Homo-oligomer: A and B are copies of this chain.
Amino acid sequence: MKNKKAGNQSVFFQNPPVVISGYSVVGPKEGQGPLRDSFDVILKDTYDGEKSWEKTEAKMLERSMRGAIDKAQVPLESVDYILAGDLLNQIISSNFAARQLGLPFIGLYGACSTMALSLALGGMLIDGGYASKVLCSASSHHDTAERQYRLPTEQGNQRPMYAQWTVTGAGSILLADAGNGPKLTSATIGRVIDYGETDTNNMGAAMAPAVADTILNHFQDLNRPPDYYDLVLTGDLGVLGLQLVTELLKRSNLNIRNTFTDCGVMIFDTEQDTHAGGSGCGCSAVVLTGNILSRMQSGEIKKVLLIGSGSLHSPASALQGESMPAIGHAISLEMQ
């Protein structure tokens, strides 16, 4: 069989899978932000009629999955696999959403890198001949994540200015072996990198080295010039993490600064008081399925590199004195 590996960490797709649809569901705060016009559904409140935020998150994720399938106008049964993950212990949002759809399910954990990871793997399953349609999904919910990772939001604790705000959002992309839309042309799977950051509020600092490593490996593996992409987008480093990666890339002489931004920076206005910007699996999922896909479809941007960034710690590992290992997974989308 033909080798589809490039360099140490990347693969390219011989028959690039196509993003035939994307669907995003967000919470009210995200719906007041600068990207509000790009989302499919904006919830009126963070419960959406459920008794717990965990139930709301699973419902949002299911809604995004069904939304992507409906938008593509394909039957549910034509989808070969769901590849999904979220931030909650045992990825319950994904498990419960997948239960409702009844499709073969592959559960992933990549923290905030999940959307990029699910697309990378989904691409390999389609281009490899194991599927014709794969649903790639991720979600997060501000109130479920904050109470699990840090403190219950009902307490109203003050957050440090360098903390990011976990996005309430769920996004799904339907990848297919044929159709119209941006093509998934390559993927770079990240390594776990840990520079010793121990402050679990400082996610941007923990993730920056892993993200820079993946970006450098992506450009090197695929031998692409720094200006190859119209947009290089991390998800989600926030304002401070983005600055750190910019500095790390500069030191490695990779100048992509003019086209470089972050989903967590894009999703909120500074007046929204989210401090360092958005985070959570749902952030890059809804920015990609909302804003980015529509800009690609309109022709405004043609080549995009998304680097999902995940901090792989847990509250227990942090309490046991461990630093925060992190990872970055990259995928490239190209409109031809």
Contacts and interface: CB of A to CB of B under 8 A. Distances in A.
Most chain B CB neighbours (cut-off 10 Å) among A2, A14, A111, A312:
A312
A89 B191 contact: no
A18 to B, nearest CB: 14
A245 to B, nearest CB: 19
A110 interface: yes
A95 B207 CA distance: 14
A89 B89 contact: yes
A241 interface: no
A104 B108 CA distance: 15
18 contacts: A1-B14, A2-B129, A5-B130, A8-B104, A54-B316, A87-B90, A89-B90, A89-B314, A90-B312, A92-B314, A92-B317, A96-B317, A96-B322, A102-B192, A107-B327, A108-B108, A121-B121, A128-B129
A179 interface: no
Given A95-B192, A125-B128, 18 more contacts: A1-B127, A1-B129, A4-B128, A4-B130, A5-B80, A5-B132, A55-B320, A87-B90, A89-B315, A90-B111, A98-B325, A99-B192, A103-B191, A104-B191, A106-B121, A106-B189, A121-B121, A128-B128
Contact of A130 (B11, B96, B312): B11
A9 interface: yes
Interface in A90-148: 90-92, 95-96, 98-99, 102-111, 117, 121, 124-125, 127-132, 148
B1 A105 contact: no
A3 interface: yes
B109 A107 contact: yes
Interface in A289-330: 312-317, 320, 322, 325, 327
A107 B104 contact: no
A94 to B, nearest CB: 8
Given A108-B109, A191-B102, A191-B104, A325 B95 contact: yes
A190 interface: yes
Given A105-B190, A109-B108, A192-B105, A52 B88 contact: no
Contacts of A132: 3, 5
A204 interface: no
A85 interface: yes
Interface of A: 1-5, 8-9, 11, 14-15, 51-52, 54-55, 80-81, 85, 87-92, 95-96, 98-99, 102-111, 117, 121, 124-125, 127-132, 148, 189-194, 312-317, 320, 322, 325, 327
Nearest to A90: B314
A147 to B, nearest CB: 10
Contacts of A99: 192-194, 312, 325
Contacts of A316: 54, 88-89, 92, 148
A109 B99 CA distance: 15
A127 B124 CA distance: 11
Smallest CB-CB A-B distances: 8 pairs: A128-B128, A95-B312, A90-B314, A104-B189, A99-B192, A107-B109, A89-B89, A4-B129
